[in-house]
Structure 1
């Protein structure tokens, strides 16, 4: 699949990073899929099935598809569920929370757009967590380089327009094993 792009920065970046850091190292391929119905917790059944969860917050941009209004947000919530399957694959499910436009009262959620560097840092951090939590890799202070890009807070956060706020999961950062 070398050289073929999905057209999605998250999927393409994850494919490149997992190839080097997971597939070549552990002989298991990992796939990233969007899932807009992920919860911010795991059920007992999901835990028993090996699922893990990670949540973080990143900076992103939005453009309303109705009125073209543009805005930035320093509080875009991302949830990842991940698990190492019994076959030769691992799965990552991904939910980037959306926001609504205040300019035109457009009642649909708009997907965030992220800078390439932010996507890369976020996925590198996730892969470190996968290596630790799915493969039991010990992370000493030299090998655990979890990076957090500088979050630039812009204007007050509009809770009434934030999907993550509406679901009660905004601005939390955690991992559940």
Structure 2
């Protein structure tokens, strides 16, 4: 099954990056899965099992499935939980936060769409954090993160349509070790 596409940009990009940066280097395969119920904190049980959390905010686009309205947002929250398990495989859980369409009254959340370049950059940063936090590798991820945190806002953020705002976590980048 090697080399086959899952059809998901996140999973395919992560698989390629982890193979080179984690699996070949440490002999441990990592997988990425979506979990739309992740919280922006870890339970005590998760901490004891060595789970880590990373949260970031990046630009993405949306297309309403109901009315086909399209919009861009410079502020889309993503939460990652990751852990190197006792069996030495790694798991990454991803929750991208959604937004509602302002053009129609369907009150459904629409999932964001990220371009390939953005997905790759987000996952490269995450893999640096995995190398640092799970393998104690010395990385320069802190200085790279600071360079990428230049936030440019061109429009007001519509917090009443943002799932992350409704959960009180929009635009609060964080890492928990």
TM-score, normalization by structure 2: 0.94
Are the aligned partners of 1:59 and 1:152 in contact in 2 as well (CA < 8 Å)?
A: no
After TM superposition, list the pairs within 5 Å mapping 1:69-148 onto structure 2: 69-140=69-140, 145-146=144-145, 148=148
Distance in structure 2 (CA, Å) of the matches to 1:140 and 1:112: 29
Q: Say which is worse superposed, 82-91 or 127-136, in terms of deviation.
A: 82-91
- Once residues 152 and 61 of structure 1 are traced to their aligned partners in structure 2, the CA distance between those partners, rounded to angstroms, is 16
Cα distance between partner residues in 2 of 1:42 and 1:126: 17
User: Deviations 1:60-118 (Å, cap 9, x if unpaired)?
Assistant: 00000000000000000000000001113100000000000000122110010001111
Deviation string 1:144-168 (CA, Å, 9 cap, x unpaired) is: 6446286553421111100000001
Deviation at 1:23, TM superposition (A): 0.3
Cα deviation, 1:123-159, whole Å, max 9, x if unaligned, reads: 0000000000000011258x96446286553421111
Q: How does 1:162-173 map to 2 (within 5 A)?
A: 162-173=162-173
- Mapped pair 1:56 → 2:53: no
Distance 1:128 1:150, change over 3 A: same
Hey, which bits of structure 1, 4+ residues long, moved more than 3 A?
A: 143-147, 149-152
Partner of 2:45: 45
Give the number of the structure whose residues are more often helix, by fraction. 2
Name the SS of the counterpart of 1:50 in structure 2: coil
Give the unaligned 5+ runs of structure 1.
none
> Aligned to 2:160, what secondary structure does the other structure show?
helix
Q: Distance in 2 between matches of 1:156 and 1:114?
A: 20
Aligned length: 176
* Change in 2 beyond 3 A, CA 1:118/1:140: closer
